[in-house]
Amino acid sequence: MKLFDVYPLFDITPVRAQGSYLWDDKGEQYLDLYGGHAVISIGHTHPRYVKAITEQLGKIAFYSNSVQNPLQQQLAEELGRQSGYADHALFLCNSGAEANENALKLASFATGRKKVIAFKQSFHGRTSGAVAATDNPKIVSPFNAGHDIVFVPLNDAAAFEAAMSDEVAAVIIEGIQGVAGIRVPEDRFLQLLRRQCDAHGALLILDEVQSGYGRSGKFFSHQYAGIQADIITLAKGMGNGFPVGGVLISPGVRPCSGMLGTTFGGNYLACVACLAVLDVIAEEGLVENALETGSYLMEQLKKFPLLEQVRGRGLMIGFDVPESHQSLRKALLFKHRIFTGASGKQTIRLLPSLSLSKAEADRFLEVLQLELGS
């Protein structure tokens, strides 16, 4: 059987990883500034993480959500403590798209409405609901027509206010737009969304799948705006590679039996993986490191005259390269063995482990200097 061919792949086969590094099947070492799309939060194969999952695997890996699983409660408590959302409730699922799907569903349940406001160039995943709220011409959905979604330009207050009404169930926005090339919503724009959702009885959904879990230098990126969201969706860094997603739900949305459900969500392995991630984030000060190392990187990147619009927060950084240097990402990977992400032809995205050291950041800067000059 062949694999269904939907991914453009580099001809590189990683076989081992540790911290911010990967090794391929030929023994070549790579600096990982991409984290497989913002997934690696505490570093590859962190010993604490490996131990927690391995030990749990020897006890019990899975049973359905029909019996008590105290690890879920432990995770909810620790996540509430670290995120500042102790009063929200946690629903565990398996991916970012599934988290957003559940969030949109909850908003419809809670308001009895169908209309959703999303933002131009947003990406929320590939289930039919999540992809309907996604505005990307490359990501095709035959289902979009079935959903009542209005797309508004990011940071356009007038367009947003014109679209808002008492028919809106939810406004869904990424903490920082990732796939679109690192586009940061203005604090006052998020504050406007919060006020307007309150005024119209709509729910504010913050998709922190990519920008959450400390990546921005705060636990959630929207916390820079000093607002609280009704629903927050999580995945990626939450499990450091173990597939898991989560929905944080405000006390205003009341649960009832059968409202949401999943077979695998909240399984024992996912819970211990997530708990190990939170322990390491707290013990190693990784939110603080993301802020410090990210700010340093951004400051240094801004000194390269050839790099345009260096932007982002913490260790979620994007910059544009001029047309003359569009082969930069390939040179970084194949000549200097550094993984980065891309958005379109011109934007490079950096989404490294939150434990990235200054020395690792400096190595990247030295390579950029070689490729671009100063």
Ligand X SMILES: Cc1ncc(COP(=O)(O)O)c(C=O)c1O
Q: Which two tokens stand for residue 294?
A: 């990210």
Q: Which two tokens stand for residue 132?
A: 């309907």
Give min distance, CB of 155 to ligand X, in A. Answer: 17
Quick one: 119 or 160, whose CB is closer to ligand X? Answer: 119
Three-class DSSP category at 331: helix
- Measured between alpha carbons, how far is 203 from 25 in angstroms, rounded to an integer? 48
Give min distance, CB of 169 to ligand X, in A. Answer: 19
Give min distance, CB of 47 to ligand X, in A. Answer: 25
Q: In the Cβ-directed half-sphere of 131, how many Cα atoms lie within 13 Å?
A: 13
**Angle CA(145)–CA(148)–CA(149) in degrees, nearest 5?**
95
Instruction: Give residue number: closest CB to ligand X.
Output: 96
Quick one: 83 or 304, whose CB is closer to ligand X? Answer: 83
**Angle CA(159)–CA(204)–CA(243) in degrees, nearest 5?**
120
Quick one: 206 or 332, whose CB is closer to ligand X? Answer: 206
Would you give the DSSP letter of residue 332? Answer: I
Dihedral angle over CA of 101, 103, 107, 109, nearest 10:
70
Q: Where are the beta strands (DSSP E) in 163-235?
A: 168-174, 203-207, 231-234
Quick one: 83 or 337, whose CB is closer to ligand X? Answer: 83
CB atoms within 10 A of CB 346: 18
Give min distance, CB of 178 to ligand X, in A. Answer: 4
Give min distance, CB of 122 to ligand X, in A. Answer: 8
Quick one: 101 or 230, whose CB is closer to ligand X? Answer: 101
Quick one: 207 or 320, whose CB is closer to ligand X? Answer: 207
Q: Which residues contact ligand X (rule: CB under 6 A)?
A: 37, 95-97, 100, 123-125, 174, 178-179, 207, 209-210, 235
Three-class DSSP category at 241: coil
Give min distance, CB of 113 to ligand X, in A. Answer: 22
Give min distance, CB of 7 to ligand X, in A. Answer: 12
Quick one: 52 or 130, whose CB is closer to ligand X? Answer: 130
- Measured between alpha carbons, how far is 361 from 300 in angstroms, rounded to an integer? 10
Residues near 335 by beta carbon (within 8 Å), at least 6 away in sequence:
none
Quick one: 205 or 301, whose CB is closer to ligand X? Answer: 205
Residues near 272 by beta carbon (within 8 Å), at least 6 away in sequence:
52, 53, 55, 56, 71
Give min distance, CB of 316 to ligand X, in A. Answer: 11
- Measured between alpha carbons, how far is 367 from 181 in angstroms, rounded to an integer? 22
In the chain, how many H helices and how many E strands? 11, 15
